[in-house]
Structure 1
Amino acid sequence: MRSAPADPTTRERIRDAAVLRFARDGFSASIRTIATDAGVSPALVIHHFGSKDELHAECDAKVLDEIRATKNETIDELASGQSILHRFAAADEYAPMLAYVLRSLQDGGPVGRVFIEQMIEDAVGYTKHGVEAGLIKPSLDEPARARYLVLSALGMLMLELNLDPPKDPADLGGIVREFMTTSYFPMIELYTQGVFTTRRMLDDYMLYVPDPPKNPATEPPVT
């Protein structure tokens, strides 16, 4: 992983091998396979983590920490006027994180749900960072915006992969590069320039929210 020390401990090496294996094969990957990837015995994996569930939880924490750090670093770079083109050149570096997130989304269940909800909570934090840095416009509802951005981005990527499955699912870097090629330009344009030339729709909606118009088909007549 990106922020791992130059000489990782055995526990870190096992965790990082598990992140990559889970990203490639999903969470059904066996302890034995992860141990082989890390160059250790299955017994040593259990010694360090106790169970596969505990290993999974530590992988979740590591990936979330990586995403949070990367987002905040990118905001700082943009706010200081730096180019972030090097981020696009590092697709292979970030691919395991993105693939791991997609596996969590596909896996669903309580663990996957908690993972995605934590991503959304973290997004509230780094969008707030962007607002404070003068890079992101404030929202009338920051948590709702963060939720929408996370779920829409993940949903778009899931649809792209389902509509055009990669020839080699193990080529995580290739998957991310293809996604960047097809989606990053419209996404960045949308984020930076918006869509509508007027805020009339938002103003109309804000008038609607506290006092929505009645539906004559369902509301009783006023006497």
Structure 2
Amino acid sequence: MGTARQERPPSGDLTAQARIRNAAIAEFASVGFSKANVRDIASKAGVSPALVIHHFGSKAGLQEVCDVYVLNALLRRARDDAQPATVRNGIRDYLADPSEFHEQVQYMVRAINEDSPSADKFVAALVTESEDLLSAGIADGSVRPTADLRAMSVLTMLLSLSLLTMPPAIARVLGHESLNPEVMRRMAMPSLELYTHGVYTDDSMLSSIQDALNDPPGPTPAVPTTETEGNEND
């Protein structure tokens, strides 16, 4: 059973450490880890740079705390949204206020794109979570078995990330200037149709790819020509 999500409290109700952490997450997501600086983060949090250093030691120490917070938040959401009984509340929460989730996703994408020290941590944790969810589904019969569980876990993670980080050009194809709740609403059903029903109506493409992958490496055999074609070239 998923846990009930709590709304983010107003900034005035947060401790100084929480305000600094939230300001840092927003700043890292917006400008990147290398460009962000303690002075700007402190200004956005309404504290002094010295207080940031007092609580977190350094920008690297602050980033480490942000990494843990964002990763745990994303993993909680993934677990809550993986079950039919709780996914409705997750969708409603997202459509009502997508900003915090988008910020957390953008933070993770920044880490991966910049290949920051936390990139491997994010990817490994999300793939492992995906693998655990798929394994549980296979065990209870709600998910079809797969030939390569780890690779399937990577694929589902990539599909989820690409959906959550669609660039403006893709959003415009759907009639919107940027990724927003309406874009996500429109993409929800095709995504679940793909996972639930698949795309191909038979396994001929699967069989062809399996045969190709099982063939020993070597030169591609020449395509035979007919006797007529040979005569025409004489």
TM-score by length of 1: 0.74
Q: 10, 18, 21: which one pairs with 1:12?
A: 18
Q: How many residues align?
A: 206
Shift of 1:144: 0.7
- Tell me the amino acid that sits aligned with residue 137 of structure 1: R
Distance 2:180 2:66 in 1: 20
Distance 2:61 2:134 in 1: 30
1:212 aligned to 2:218? no
| TM-superposition CA deviations, 1:106-130 (whole Å, max 9, x none) | 3224443443333222322333344
Shift of 1:4: 7.9
Shift of 1:92: 2.8
- Tell me the amino acid that sits aligned with residue 55 of structure 2: H
| TM-superposition CA deviations, 1:130-180 (whole Å, max 9, x none) | 44555433323221111112224434655x4163699xxxxxxx6343641
Distance 2:187 2:133 in 1: 22
Partner of 2:144: 137
CA contact (8 A) 1:157 1:179 kept: no
The alignment-based identity, stated in percent, is 31
- Tell me the amino acid that sits aligned with residue 163 of structure 1: A
C-alpha distance 41-184 of structure 1, shift in aligned 2 (>3 A): same
**SS at structure 2 position matched to 1:36:** helix
C-alpha distance 40-121 of structure 1, shift in aligned 2 (>3 A): same
Partner of 1:199: 203
**SS at structure 2 position matched to 1:11:** helix
Distance 1:165 1:178 in 2: 10
User: 5+ residue gaps in structure 1?
Assistant: 167-173, 219-223
Rg (Cα) greater in structure: 2
| TM-superposition CA deviations, 1:12-46 (whole Å, max 9, x none) | 33212211222223222211121122222111111
Segment drifting more, 148-157 vs 61-70: 148-157
Partner of 1:170: none
CA contact (8 A) 2:171 2:179 kept: no
Distance 1:49 1:81 in 2: 35
C-alpha distance 157-8 of structure 1, shift in aligned 2 (>3 A): closer
Distance 1:108 1:81 in 2: 33
C-alpha distance 63-186 of structure 1, shift in aligned 2 (>3 A): same
Distance 2:46 2:141 in 1: 46
C-alpha distance 5-177 of structure 1, shift in aligned 2 (>3 A): closer
1:32 aligned to 2:39? yes
Partner of 1:149: 156
Distance 1:207 1:217 in 2: 14
C-alpha distance 114-198 of structure 1, shift in aligned 2 (>3 A): same
Partner of 1:169: none
C-alpha distance 135-87 of structure 1, shift in aligned 2 (>3 A): farther
C-alpha distance 179-103 of structure 1, shift in aligned 2 (>3 A): farther
**SS at structure 2 position matched to 1:75:** coil
Distance 2:199 2:170 in 1: 27
CA contact (8 A) 1:23 1:96 kept: yes
Q: Which protein has greater RCO, CA pairs closer than 8 Å, 6+ apart? A: 1
TM-score by length of 2: 0.71
Cα RMSD for the two superposed structures: 3.2
User: 5+ residue gaps in structure 2?
Assistant: 173-177, 222-234
1:188 aligned to 2:192? yes
